[in-house]
Amino acid sequence: MKNSPSEIGIDHMALYVPGPYLSLDDLAAARGVDPNKYSVGIGIRETAIATPAEDVVVLAANAGQRVLKEAGVSPDDVGLLVVGTESAEDKSKPTATHVHELLDIGKSCRVYDVVHACAGATYGVLNAIDWLHNSTHKYALVIASDIARYGKNEAGEPTQGAGAVAMLLSRQPRLIGLNEISTFSKNVYDFWKPLDQKYPLVDGIYSARCYAEAAEACFAGQDLQENAAYIYHTPYPKLVQQTHMQVARMIAGDVDIKNHFKDKVGPSLQLAARIGNIYTGSMWLALMSFLEANLSEPAEDSDGCYLFSYGSGCGAALLRGRLSPAWKEQVGLFGAEATLDARTRLAFDEYETLMDIYENPESISADDLAATTVNGSFRYLGTEKNKRRYGAA
């Protein structure tokens, strides 16, 4: 099932992750937990840790710069810029306004954030698809950018992560065409972040049940194709595995569920196991992971994918993706595994120091902030008169 040339979707994608990571074996040792609980029970081995010079603006701008450069697209051709995030630094001023300036996108561009927990960027992508149907502009840029922090010693600590996925959408995408095929919404308190809280409040087991209920509702009644890839929002890989065991039962015919998971889901979890949860970017990271892992597979074997997006609170959407004929050329530029291989492993006390700085940002001196290196071209410079400043790294 190939993309028809007129189908709107993603022309190119790019990932940005911070340079440092924490090995969950080190976290397990420090917390007195069996390391298999994290690597097998949850399915994460490493988590990306943002430096004090990185916030969601910095992650988004660095991913956005990369996607434009690799796609060979001028910022002047972007008419819509949407940032999906649930870890913004401001409750009013959009993250996207800073990204707009850093990427030097023209003034005749619509610029805004979408907040709906981890589904924000997916709703941004759906907005962009609708917008491209009517706009004369060539491209929409949607960036999912988040830093997932739960706090020291919290149950969610091993599922932390940080990163941004930038997606350039167009009418004749070189990567993948997308359509929404079902949606689900329900008012629940499974994961939420009151305005006065630094960390989210989570009803962990209930949140997994809400996720599973939304998945079942979205996949039910669909004519599910066995040979497609199944890409899920991935707060942690084990939840995806558990959910797919239920979803795979809905595929017609005699499906070997264990092997189906291994072939049609497993490769999508490789990057999440080394980055952790990146909230709005998590499902899109899973897509990059699946495509990069399948670069050597024959293109004609592909039947595209299903993409299940979940945002706590809650809202969910199921999208059908159809690969474009030239998808391998775009995926060949991802270099995601290589980016992760080049990171620096933090000592456990360095990780705790970074958590302390997040809790007390004033505790880092201007000199130490300036000396902090980042993985890309843009960085956070500091706050003056309550205004956050960004610039070249």
* Given the residues 7, 86, 157, 292, the one annotated as active site: 86
Cβ atoms within 10 Å, residue 114: 24
* Given the residues 98, 233, 244, 260, the one annotated as active site: 233
Residues paired with 118 in a beta bridge:
116
Task: In whole angstroms, give the CA distance from residue 62 to residue 37.
Answer: 33
> Measured from the CB atom, is 62 or 234 closer to ligand CAA?
234
Task: In whole angstroms, give the CA distance from residue 322 to residue 141.
Answer: 19
Q: What are phi and psi of 318, to 5 degrees?
A: -110, 125
Minimum CB distance to ligand CAA, residue 211 (Å): 4
Name the segment binding ligand CAA (CB under 6 A); options: 34-42, 56-64, 254-262, 329-337: 34-42
* Given the residues 109, 118, 218, 314, the one annotated as active site: 118
Name the segment binding ligand CAA (CB under 6 A); options: 101-109, 154-162, 215-223, 224-232: 154-162
Binding flag, residue 156, ligand CAA (CB under 6 A): yes
Place of tokens 């709005």: 280
> Measured from the CB atom, is 124 or 177 closer to ligand CAA?
124
Reading the block at residue 278, the tokens are 């990146």
Minimum CB distance to ligand CAA, residue 368 (Å): 31
Binds ligand CAA (CB under 6 A): choice among 34, 101, 297, 356:
34
Find all residues with CB under 8 Å of 181, minimum gap 6, and list them: 222, 318, 319, 320
Minimum CB distance to ligand CAA, residue 379 (Å): 26
Minimum CB distance to ligand CAA, residue 40 (Å): 4
Minimum CB distance to ligand CAA, residue 315 (Å): 11
Residues 208-237 that bind ligand CAA (CB under 6 A): 208, 211, 233, 235-236
Binds ligand CAA (CB under 6 A): choice among 279, 290, 358, 380:
279
> Measured from the CB atom, is 105 or 275 closer to ligand CAA?
275
Name the segment binding ligand CAA (CB under 6 A); options: 45-53, 199-207, 286-294, 346-354: 199-207
Binding flag, residue 202, ligand CAA (CB under 6 A): yes
Instruction: Determine whether 118 is an active site residue.
Output: yes
Residues 310-329 that bind ligand CAA (CB under 6 A): 310, 312
Find all residues with CB under 8 Å of 94, minimum gap 6, and list them: 83, 88, 111, 112, 113
* Distance between first and last Cα of the chain: 43
Binds ligand CAA (CB under 6 A): choice among 14, 57, 60, 118:
118
Strands 78-84 and 139-148: parallel
In the bound complex, which residue of the shown chain has the CB atom lying closest to ligand CAA? 41
Binding flag, residue 159, ligand CAA (CB under 6 A): yes
> Measured from the CB atom, is 65 or 207 closer to ligand CAA?
207
Reading the block at residue 130, the tokens are 């609708």
Q: Is 203 strand, coil or helix?
A: coil
Task: In whole angstroms, give the CA distance from residue 106 to residue 89.
Answer: 24
> Measured from the CB atom, is 38 or 358 closer to ligand CAA?
38
Binding flag, residue 347, ligand CAA (CB under 6 A): no
Q: Compute CA distances 239 → 181, 208, 227, 282, whole Å.
A: 22, 7, 22, 13
Binds ligand CAA (CB under 6 A): choice among 29, 155, 220, 347:
155
Name the segment binding ligand CAA (CB under 6 A); options: 62-70, 152-160, 161-169, 359-367: 152-160
Task: In whole angstroms, give the CA distance from residue 362 to residue 57.
Answer: 19
Instruction: Determine whether 157 is an active site residue.
Output: no
Residues paired with 114 in a beta bridge:
84
Instruction: Determine whether 244 is an active site residue.
Output: no
Q: Are 168 and 139 in contact (CB under 8 A)?
A: yes
The DSSP 8-state label assigned to residue 4 in this structure reads P
Binding flag, residue 145, ligand CAA (CB under 6 A): no
Q: Are 177 and 322 in contact (CB under 8 A)?
A: yes
Task: In whole angstroms, give the CA distance from residue 370 to residue 380.
Answer: 9
Residues paired with 318 in a beta bridge:
182, 308
Q: Are 144 and 120 in contact (CB under 8 A)?
A: yes
Q: Are 219 and 231 in contact (CB under 8 A)?
A: no
The site for ligand CAA (CB under 6 A) is made up of 34, 36-37, 40-42, 118, 155-156, 159, 190-191, 202, 204-205, 207-208, 211, 233, 235-236, 238-239, 277, 279, 310, 312
Catalytic annotation, residues: 86, 118, 233
